[in-house]
């Protein structure tokens, strides 16, 4: 296990490597990249890192976190080249933020309640960002299900929430009934609206149960893929293909 000092030295080397790649004497491919290119790679690497972290394979997690870190350094270079900020300023900024948001650890204020700590954290964020609404600043480009989770989480941090998951589930059942009514009406706009309300409600049920709905749905997707793949194998053993099977055959496989 590397020490913090060794990690800092390795990080300095990464900065030097990336700067060299972007220099006139560096790599033509790296020099030709745009910020938009790297944003796309950053998003891809972030998803790969999440996948590795969820796999519980330490080596894979280490490698993918390294890839994410590299893309962060790469992105910071575009701003440095434009004379706007450096990677050092990025690190200085997050250090300052973490110290300011943890007065119960790094300052005289002593609090042990998680509720008090979270309230202080949100208060600091509102002051720092000068936001008019507690819901400002959430990533609009995030997957919709994950954004629903974040919206509920942010609102809950300021006292707007169901008391427990059961009540949120009752609300979801109400939304399901309204979706049934919309389906009977045949009005596509109403159906879409009620379907959205139901999905939002279910994301809050997941949150109140302690689950991230994006991760839960990801696991359900994997389960479906595995079961569907097994069904395909069974059908092939019979000398058939999916298109040649009736719905009843598929359901019984």
Instruction: Please report which confidence band the pLDDT of residue 117 belongs to, taking 50, 70 and 90 as the band edges.
Output: confident
The span from the CA of 64 to the CA of 60, in Å, is 6
Q: What is the pLDDT of residue 126?
A: 65
- Topology agreement, domain 4-100 and domain 144-211: yes
Residues 6+ apart with CB under 8 A from 14: 69, 70, 73
List, for residues 198-243, the tens digit of each pLDDT value.
999 999 999 999 999 988 998 899 999 999 999 888 888 888 888 8
Residue 248, pLDDT above cutoff 90: no
| Per-residue H/E/C for 172-224 | HHHHHHHHHHHHHHCCHHHHHHHHHHHHHHHHHHHHHCCCCHHHHHHHHHHHH
Instruction: Please report which confidence band the pLDDT of residue 105 belongs to, taking 50, 70 and 90 as the band edges.
Output: confident
Residues 6+ apart with CB under 8 A from 246: none
Instruction: Out of 108-112, 135-139, 214-218, pick the least confident.
Output: 108-112
Domain extents in the chain: 4-100, 144-211, 218-252
Instruction: Please report which confidence band the pLDDT of residue 91 belongs to, taking 50, 70 and 90 as the band edges.
Output: very high
Q: What is the pLDDT of residue 111?
A: 67
Q: Say which CATH topology domain 144-211 has.
A: Helix Hairpins (1.10.287)
Q: Which CA distances in Å does 111 have to 72, 97, 118, 123, 124?
A: 34, 18, 11, 15, 15
Instruction: Out of 50-64, 119-133, 225-239, pick the least confident.
Output: 119-133
- Mean pLDDT, all residues of the chain: 90
**pTM, rounded to two decimals:** 0.63
Residue 48, pLDDT above cutoff 80: yes
Question: In 3D, which of 193, 194, 216, 219 has the Cα closest to residue 203?
Answer: 216
Kindly state which CATH superfamily the domain 4-100 is placed in: MazG-like (1.10.287.1080)
Residues 6+ apart with CB under 8 A from 172: 198, 201, 202, 205
Taking residues 36-53, report their average pLDDT: 91
For a pLDDT cut of 90, what percent of the chain falls above it?
Answer: 63
Instruction: Please report which confidence band the pLDDT of residue 122 belongs to, taking 50, 70 and 90 as the band edges.
Output: low
List, for residues 149-192, the tens digit of each pLDDT value.
999 998 998 889 999 999 999 999 999 999 999 999 999 999 99
Instruction: Please report which confidence band the pLDDT of residue 113 belongs to, taking 50, 70 and 90 as the band edges.
Output: confident
The span from the CA of 145 to the CA of 153, in Å, is 12
């Amino acid at each position: 296990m590397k020490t913090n000092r060794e990690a800092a030295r390795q990080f300095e080397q990464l900065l030097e490597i990336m700067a060299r790649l972007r220099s006139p004497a560096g790599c033509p491919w790296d020099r030709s990249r745009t910020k938009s290119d790297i944003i796309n790679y950053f998003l891809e690497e972030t998803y790969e890192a999440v996948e590795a972290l969820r796999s519980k394979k330490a080596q894979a997690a280490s490698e993918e976190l390294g890839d994410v870190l590299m893309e962060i350094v790469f992105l910071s270079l575009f701003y440095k080249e434009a004379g706007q900020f450096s990677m050092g300023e990025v690190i200085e900024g997050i250090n300052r933020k973490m110290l300011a948001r943890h007065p119960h650890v790094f300052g005289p204020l002593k609090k042990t309640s998680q509720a008090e700590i979270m309230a202080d954290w949100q208060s600091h964020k509102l002051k720092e960002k000068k936001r008019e609404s507690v819901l400002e600043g959430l990533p609009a480009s995030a997957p919709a299900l994950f954004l629903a989770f974040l919206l509920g989480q942010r609102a809950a941090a300021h006292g707007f929430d169901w008391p427990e998951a059961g009540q949120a589930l009752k609300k979801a059942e109400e939304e399901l009934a309204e979706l049934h009514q919309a389906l009977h009406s045949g009005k596509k706009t109403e159906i879409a609206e009620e379907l959205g309300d139901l999905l939002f409600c279910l994301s809050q049920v997941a949150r109140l149960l302690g689950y991230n709905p994006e991760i839960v749905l990801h696991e359900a997707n994997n389960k479906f893929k595995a079961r569907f793949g097994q069904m395909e194998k069974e059908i092939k053993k019979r000398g058939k293909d999916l298109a040649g099977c009736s719905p009843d055959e598929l359901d019984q496989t």
